[in-house]
C-alpha cells in the first residue's frame, strides 16, 4: 500500500487523493501536522531523495522564516525542516521500492503501475 505524506488542506495533496481514488489505488495518509516525522524518518527521506528535493523553498513558511537570506548549512536546513515540516514538498508518496515527491500524474502512473 502506498503511503501519502502531506497536509490535509494542501491543494496538491487533495488532488493526489482524487487521482488515487479515480485510479483505484489504495493508500494511507499521514498528516504531517498531526503526525510529524521523527528525526530518523526525515533523515531516511533526505538520504533517499536529497534535502534539495524535499525542501520547498517557494512556500510560505520558507519566506516567513526568512531562510533565503540566511547562510545555513545542510545540517541547519535539516533542523529547520524537522521543526517546520510544512516546508516539505507535497505530496510525498512512498511504496516498497521508491519515494516520489510532488504532484505529477504521469509519475503517479509509473509509481503505482496504473495504466
Q: Supply the residues annotated as catalytic.
A: 10
107 three-state secondary structure: helix
Closest Cα to residue 82, out of 47, 32, 48? 32
Specify which residues 92 forms β-bridges with.
Answer: 5, 101
Contact 49, 57 (CB under 8 A): no
Phi-psi group of 25: left, alpha or beta (phi > 0 → left; psi -120 to 50 → alpha; rest → beta): beta
Give the integer Cα–Cα distance in Å for 62 and 81: 10
Cell (9 digits) for 42: 526525515
Amino acid at each position: 500500500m502506498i503511503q501519502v505524506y502531506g497536509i490535509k488542506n494542501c491543494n496538491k495533496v487533495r488532488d493526489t487523493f482524487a487521482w488515487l481514488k479515480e485510479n483505484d489505488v489504495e493508500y494511507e495518509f499521514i498528516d504531517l501536522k498531526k503526525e510529524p516525522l521523527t528525526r530518523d524518518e526525515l533523515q531516511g527521506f533526505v538520504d533517499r531523495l536529497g534535502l534539495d528535493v524535499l525542501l520547498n523553498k517557494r512556500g510560505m513558511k520558507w519566506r516567513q522564516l526568512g531562510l533565503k537570506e540566511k547562510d545555513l548549512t545542510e545540517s541547519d536546513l535539516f533542523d529547520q525542516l524537522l521543526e517546520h515540516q510544512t516546508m516539505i514538498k507535497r505530496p510525498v508518496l512512498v511504496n516498497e521500492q521508491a519515494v516520489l515527491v510532488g504532484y505529477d500524474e504521469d509519475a503517479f502512473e509509473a509509481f503505482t503501475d496504473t495504466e
